[in-house]
Every structure is written in C-alpha cells, then in structure tokens.
A and B are shown apart, each in its own frame.
Chain A
Amino acid sequence: MRTVATEDRMFVVSDLHLGNPSSTARARLVSFLDHALKEGASLCINGDGFDLAQTRFPRLASDTPPVMAGLHRLLHADLRVYYIVGNHDILLEQFLSDFVFSQISPFLNVHSGDHRIRVEHGHIYDPWFSYSPTSYQRATRLAGYLVFAIPDIYRWWDRVGTTVDHWNSRRHARDGSTDPGAGTRYHRAANDLLQRGFDTVIFGHTHAAETVGMPIGTYINCGNWLRGNTYVDINHGAATLCSWQD
C-alpha cells in the first residue's frame, strides 16, 4: 500500500459518483480534465469517483469512457492520477488497480513544496458509517432506488446530513464531551490529523465544500461533482478551494 505522493501541482476532486443517476459530473469533468492537462496538474479523485452502491449500469457505461479518456491524456502527459477509495466504491479497490490510476490507496500523504497535506475521503469519521458499516452500506443501496426515482433527493440528504452534524456538535459541546468550538466530527478528525504534523487536511464525503481555519492548520472539504463543481488546487503546498467554471 503506497500512501505517499510528491506533487508540486495537483487538483483534488471528490464524490463524482459516476454511474449514479443523480450525477451530472461527466460533461463538466471532461473539460476540467482538459484544464488539468493544460495547467500541468496531477489529479487526485478523493473517493466515490465511481458509484457502485447506487449505480445503473447503462449510466456507468455512458459516463465512464469519456472520463477514462481524459485520465489517459493526463497519464500520457506524464502527470499522475491518484484514486482514494470512498464508501461508494470500496468494492472497486482491487479492480481499479488494473485500471489507469497511478496509485490507489485509502488515504494519501502529499508532499508539496515544504507542506504535508493529508487527502482522505473521510467516510470513516461519519458517525453513521462508523457505527455500523454494513448497515450503512445496505441503507445506501436501498436509498439508491429513491435516488433513481427522485435524483434531486441528494440535495435534501446533504442538507440533512450537514444540519444533523452541526446539531450533534452543539449538543456534545453543551454536555461537555467535546470542547466548545471543536466543530463537527470531521473538524475534530481533521484536528487530530493536523496534530500529527500535517499543514492541511482535505476530506470529501459530506458533499459540503468548506475551508476552515483550525488552531494548527487548515481543513478543506472539496465538496462534490454530483451536482457541484468544486475542487482543491494544490500549488507548491498552498491548497485553495476553487470552483470550476467551464
């Protein structure tokens, strides 16, 4: 398992959910990959790039080829394509290693300039996932039928998740189990990692793009491409949350 990469310039995208009926990532992603090629940036897909939990095969079959072609163009230009496994694509872990990706891992420690950056999908810090991964995966598959009927249900789900997370963090602060201001589970997980000598921690999973200044570093969530268009630009160690406008 290789978990270290050295890159001067890298783009990080997350939660493409290719194959999911709700995903509108394909068209934007193809032009974004051309942009990465033009900028000479390697690419990191930070989990849930392909959606096996809620996929429809015809959709997966139509989404995948143009994206793979774009990834091949990056590789032919001597850039790297990293893939971090998320909760919607755990089953692909073995399979993807035979694909185009330079490196597949559960997390990536990126050395860029004189900075150390942790890139990780972040689902292991999701309280619902960590409580019972099996039940979570089953619920995800069941929810896939709902997504098939109402694609926009994902927006509602993301809002509920964010609201519950903030509500829980306030409750934990009130009952004294966490320090006031410690933030959500993801903020606390990022803080634990920053204490281990990282300058920046990048998660995905929540679909909610944000940049948060922590006591000893920065936490960035790179959002999603299911319906969104945010990514993190790592440029000689400086990590910035950006929006891609075609």
Chain B
Amino acid sequence: MTGGASRPGPGRSPLERMATAGRRVQGDAVTRHADPGELIVAQGDDDANMFIIQSGGVEVRRHVGEQVVVLGRLQRGDFFGEMSLLESQPRTADVVAIEPTVLVELSAGALLFRIRRDPTLAVEMLQKLSGRIRNLNAALADVAGGSNSLLVHDDI
C-alpha cells in the first residue's frame, strides 16, 4: 500500500504517530491509496480495521483449497473489513485493488466516533449486512433444493 499521507510508519516521529492515532479515535479520515493488483487485506490476517472505498474499486477473493473464488467486486461507497472489526476474527477473504483506489480506514474506536458524527453510516452498514444475509438465505434455500437438510435453526 502506498502514499497514505497520514499513514503511520517507521520514518515518522512518535508525535506524528500519536497525532494520527488521535485523528483515528476522533473518527477523522485516515486515507490509504492502493495501486491495481495491490493486496489490501489478506485472508487469515488478524488486523481488524474496516475500509470505505472513496474512489476506485476492489475485488474480494477467498481461498478454498487450491482454488481462489471471486466473491464479488466493490466500488466507491462500498465498505469491507467490517466482519473482522465487529467480531475480532481473522480476515475471511483477500481484498485486492483492481484500479487506483482511495480508501478511508477506520478502527473500532474511530467507527463509534464516526457513527456519532454520521449516523447514516450505521444505517448503510446495516442495509448492506441485511442484504448479504438475504442473499445467503436465498443461496441456502437453492442449495437445499426443497429438502429439509439445510434448515437453519434460529435461536432468537
């Protein structure tokens, strides 16, 4: 990943790094730039920040055995990495830039501040997550093919 003006790095002073961390906590944008083909998050990694695509586009790929399955393409306005952020679980897929891409990176603390300042972000996240659950339910029903073998038991 290249060129993020406020990206922490070994060349920066501790004060500069603290200032960057402070901006993250306040929900201010930490922007990252990714070149085409660049791996932004890697399946299995433990980092837990989420990203909003400000411009450009990315592809989400999952390694299944020897195969790489393309799960989808995301464009500006879309976000990714929220599953690791919300659940503190390792990344479940690779995300690779497919064109010059600018990203807004949010940590868990910054997300809370950001939602306080921009509550519509939370609504849009819930809309997208709800859409994904709907698609998964439809796919599950297709796989079940009318049999009862894949019934989901909801404990709620």
A residues within 8 Å of B by Cβ? 1, 3, 106-107, 109, 116, 120, 124, 188-189, 192-193, 195-198, 216
Contacts and interface: CB of A to CB of B under 8 A. Distances in A.
B52 A197 contact: yes
B123 A197 contact: no
Contact of B104 (A3, A107, A196): A196
Contact of B120 (A116, A120, A195): A120
B10 to A, nearest CB: 26
Q: Which 6 pairs from chain A and chain B are nearest by CB?
A: A197-B76, A197-B77, A192-B118, A195-B29, A197-B54, A195-B104
B45 interface: no
A198 B120 CA distance: 13
Contacts of B124: 3
Given A195-B52, A196-B52, A1 B118 contact: no
B134 interface: no
A199 to B, nearest CB: 9
Contacts of B119: 124
Chain B CB within 10 A, most for which of A116, A124, A188, A195? A195
A189 B118 contact: yes
A195 B121 CA distance: 11
A189 B52 contact: no
Contacts of A197: 52-55, 75-78
A198 B54 CA distance: 8
A173 to B, nearest CB: 15
Interface residues of B, number: 21
B120 to A, nearest CB: 5
Contacts of A193: 118, 120
A196 B117 contact: no
Nearest to B121: A196
A229 B117 CA distance: 30
Contacts of B104: 195-196
B127 interface: yes
A120 B104 CA distance: 22
Given A116-B76, A189-B117, A196 B54 contact: yes
B114 interface: yes
B123 A3 contact: yes
Given A192-B117, A197-B53, 13 more contacts: A1-B123, A3-B127, A107-B123, A116-B76, A124-B119, A192-B27, A192-B29, A192-B118, A193-B120, A195-B29, A196-B52, A197-B52, A197-B55
